[in-house]
A = this chain, B = another copy of it.
Amino acid sequence: MKHFRGVFDVENVNALISEAIWMKHNPLAHAGLGKGKKLGMIFMNPSLRTRLSTEMAARDLGMDVQVLNMGDAWTPDFEEGSVMDGQEVEHIKEAAGVLGRYFDMLAIRAFPGLLDREADDAEGVLRAFEQYGKKPILSLESATRHPLQSLADMITLEEQKKKKSPKVVLTWAPHVKSLPQAVPLSFAEWTLAAGYDLHIAHPAGLGLDPRFTHGAHITNDQNEALAGADFIYVKNWSKREPYGVPYEDGASWMLNEKRLDIAPNARIMHCLPVRRNVELSDDLLDSPRSLVLEQAENRLWAARVVLKNMLTDILINEKAAIPY
């Protein structure tokens, strides 16, 4: 695997999931694989789980890691031909160019602006780091995808499922802010690629990009989707049309124990952070139904298996013998 930007970078999704679970049971395997290899983690947006789990996984593989918070203080200029007489002090051509000289692999976190759908869909930030950095790219969540989260979710489904073909539901949930669609889009493309039976429920007007959801059962009737569910993935997202606008009349979409009488065996999933009693009730989050900590813990193994495969690709290209 050269890059890891979405499920399209994975040759065999189910093999990757199996390998991650194998690693979780063999945590000392590959411990020196990344020795001398340098990972630069660049955050254009804040991060907790992603930063901690990816840095930890990289160090556990022996990599050298440096973390760079770009934040407000230093956002590069991404425009071709820009006359840089404004706020931006550095162009992405130099910023990514230098990072590509320092590191063997660049991990990038870049949320969408939620102002211009075409721009967000084009994934300009990730592409610019790839084009000018000239090094393998590991997405730490981009405008339209959160592949490390989705892989952790797939690991969790594989570990927790009690039947060969569980019913998996992705349901919209209320929130107080306007959120990106990256997590639900990414969850959809991964579950479908892994062969799950995916049902998506959301209020009318909150449809997701069909390029990601093709093959799923989509409904505006939450109860229809929930009935008999084995796994329920709960997530807010904002509208695709008009783009980035939040839906504000969805309070009744919040799940609690009572609502789940129709899905007595369902386990609850959420990528975190979760707003308690807005997105999901305390009674569900505090119950054994909840898998949210298992998902978060599996971020470690998602990052580990992806880094292991990217490192292997680098080592093969160096025509060096893999040191084990």
Contact = CB atoms under 8 A, between A and B. Distances in A.
Given A82-B276, A94-B273, A293 B101 contact: yes
Interface residues of A, number: 50
Contact of A94 (B93, B176, B274): B274
A320 interface: no
Contacts of A91: 274, 276
B102 A300 contact: yes
B68 A285 contact: no
A184 B252 CA distance: 52
B84 A278 contact: yes
Interface in A233-251: none
Interface string A47-86: 0110011011001100010101000011001000111111
Contacts of A102: 52-53, 56, 297, 300
A140 to B, nearest CB: 15
A276 B83 contact: yes
Interface string A265-305: 00000001111111000100110000011001100100000
Given A81-B277, A90-B273, A297-B101, A52 B74 contact: no
